[in-house]
Amino acid sequence: MTDHDTLETRLTRSLDQQATGLHDAPFGLDDVRGRARGIQRRRRALVAGATAAVVLAVAIPLGLAAGGRDDPRGVDPAPSPVLGRATVLHDGELTRPDGSTLPVPYDDVDEVATLGDGRTVLMLQRRAVVLDATGAEQASYPVAVNLLTAGREDRTVAWVGEGNRVQVLEAGRPEPVTLAAVPESELGLSMVEVVNGDECAPDSCRVTVGDGNAITYDVYPDEVVPTELDLPFTSIDDVNARGDLWTVALPTRDGEQHPCVATYHAVDQAVVAQTCATSGLRFSPDEQHLLGMRGDNSMYGELTVLDADLRPVLTWAPEGDLAISSAAWSDDTHLDVAVVDPDTSEWSLVRVALDGGSEVLEGPAPGGNPEAGPDYVFAD
């Protein structure tokens, strides 16, 4: 028997022992019906509240329109701000930053990444699908792990493919470059942390992988090299446009559920700044701010925006018991945030400004169970 088997056996026995003494059935039908009535009342109240929020969101633009240039009251409206938008997949349609849309006729899309040549990569169950600029499926590749990693500025998208071989698809190249196979990890699944550089030519491509507990290997087309540096972090969340500044997760200490995070200078090999206030830092397009979220169960209670020194700029949470499912930068000063009611699975898309203001862009509308994944999948 191996150590692993022994621990698992002991674990099963321990759980059996703890649960053995519980044989009662504390609730009768009346108890259950009473709680059910409470749930129904709460659902009705939430729907009513959500409707009021939509009316308010619609009323604001109507009010602005009433003061247009042809309005005899002569009120000159402030020019509408030019806002960007995050690339997002929702309800079978991919909306790109320029507002154009693409039908995406797949269920269960876990992740989306875009390439600068107009192609889109979807991560489905155990396969990566490449769509051309019209949305037609161009190719499909089996994967070992359902994770995509986008390179800088839409140049590359990488994944761990069949047989643990890393594959990198580069903008302008029809086929992915297949690199060497990553050895199996004891502690976790291997995932691509960063694609180094802007290119992945067959003879000059280097990808760094980790297993969620540590950065483990540099992977090349024909070899895998254990990471030489004693890196002070366990995973890489984002990379700036120049490629020299990374956001990273630091090792968790005993009892911590969430890691502290940091910015790490890859050339100087030094932590620049760190914080324990949030996790999963993402650079804004102008790299002046970082978005972080911390939660569990595929949902987050709040989002935090930090400045380049990782000092807090904004903490934003949806009202009541609503939760954040996913979020992404839409431009330098705005975030697109998917908000969900965990009890009713009603979804909204909300735009949040760095000054704390927010506007409902879509919804609320019925959707899927947020614990199964976001209804709004933002591009990596």
Partner 1 sequence: MHTTQRAGPETGGMSRSQARDAEFTAYLAARQPSLLRTAYLLTGDRHQAEDVLQTALAKLYLSWDKVRDRAAVDGYARRILVNETTSLWRRPWKRREHATDRVPEGAPHHDAYDDGTGDALWQVVQTLPRRARAVVVLRYYEQLTEAETAEVLGITVGTVKSQTSRALATLRERTPAELDPREEER
- The residues binding partner 1 (CB under 8 A) are 3-4, 6-8, 10-29, 31-33, 35-36, 38-40, 110, 125-126, 144-146, 186-189, 212-213, 254-258, 295-299, 301, 321, 323, 342, 369, 371-373
Question: How many other CB atoms sit within 10 Å of the CB of residue 257?
Answer: 8
In the complex, least distance from residue 356 CB atom to partner 1, rounded to whole angstroms: 20
User: Which tokens go with 310?
Assistant: 């990782």
The nearer residue to partner 1, 22 or 78, going by C-beta atoms, is 22
Residues 6 or more apart whose CB falls under 8 angstroms from that of 109 comprise 89, 122, 123, 124, 377
The nearer residue to partner 1, 34 or 61, going by C-beta atoms, is 34
In the complex, least distance from residue 33 CB atom to partner 1, rounded to whole angstroms: 7
- C-alpha pair distances (Å), 157 with each of 25, 123, 237, 306, 330: 52, 11, 15, 27, 20
In the complex, least distance from residue 220 CB atom to partner 1, rounded to whole angstroms: 25
Judge whether 359 and 351 are in contact, CB under 8 Å: yes
In the complex, least distance from residue 140 CB atom to partner 1, rounded to whole angstroms: 17
In the complex, least distance from residue 50 CB atom to partner 1, rounded to whole angstroms: 17
The nearer residue to partner 1, 55 or 187, going by C-beta atoms, is 187
User: Which tokens go with 53?
Assistant: 């929020």
The nearer residue to partner 1, 221 or 364, going by C-beta atoms, is 364
The nearer residue to partner 1, 101 or 369, going by C-beta atoms, is 369
The nearer residue to partner 1, 27 or 265, going by C-beta atoms, is 27
Question: How many other CB atoms sit within 10 Å of the CB of residue 231?
Answer: 18
Measured over the CA atoms of residue 157, residue 161, residue 166 and residue 168, the dihedral's sign is negative
Integer-rounded Cα Rg, in Å, for the chain is 24
Q: CA angle, 147 as apex, 144 and 149 as ends, to 5°?
A: 120
User: Which tokens go with 39?
Assistant: 């749930």
